[in-house]
């Protein structure tokens, strides 16, 4: 009896919510699929969505402070003319049929003075 090994599906992001991160003032991407296409005008935030994932990856591999400093902190990251925290929230599943896991990152500026 020869049973072929079933391919293991990688974890999959299902939703992404970003607030006050560069061009993304308040964006929710829901029901993401393995093939998700982002369409929009220049400056609409398509590349910023990918930078959100790069930022999160760097937070885990290099540490939050280094990823934060690399991008210019609040001056460069927070959406222009906006107030409040930068929020990144994603929901993903480790494997199909497993519980949905929520990761929430909120960074706010503290006034010292």
Residue with tokens 């993401």: 32
In a domain, residue 23? The reply is yes
Is 72 contained in some domain? Answer: yes
**pTM as predicted:** 0.85
55 in a structural domain: yes
Is residue 37 situated within a structural domain?
Answer: no
Number of domains in the chain: 1
pLDDT attached to residue 112: 54
More confident residue, 83 or 111: 83
Residue 4 inside a domain? The answer is no
**pLDDT tens per residue, range 33-85:** 989 999 999 988 999 999 999 999 999 999 999 999 998 888 889 998 888 99
Q: Which structural domain range is residue 56 located in?
A: 12-32+42-107
């Amino acid at each position: 009896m020869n049973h072929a090994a079933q391919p293991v599906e990688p974890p999959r992001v299902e939703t992404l919510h970003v607030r006050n991160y560069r061009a993304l003032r308040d964006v929710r991407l829901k029901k993401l699929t393995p093939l998700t296409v982002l369409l929009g005008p220049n400056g609409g935030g398509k590349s910023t969505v990918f930078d959100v994932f790069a930022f999160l990856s760097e937070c885990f591999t290099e540490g939050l402070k280094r990823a934060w400093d690399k991008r210019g902190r609040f001056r460069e990251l927070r959406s222009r003319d906006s107030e409040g925290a930068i929020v990144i929230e994603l929901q993903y599943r480790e494997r199909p049929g497993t519980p949905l896991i929520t990761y929430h990152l909120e960074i706010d500026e503290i006034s010292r003075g």
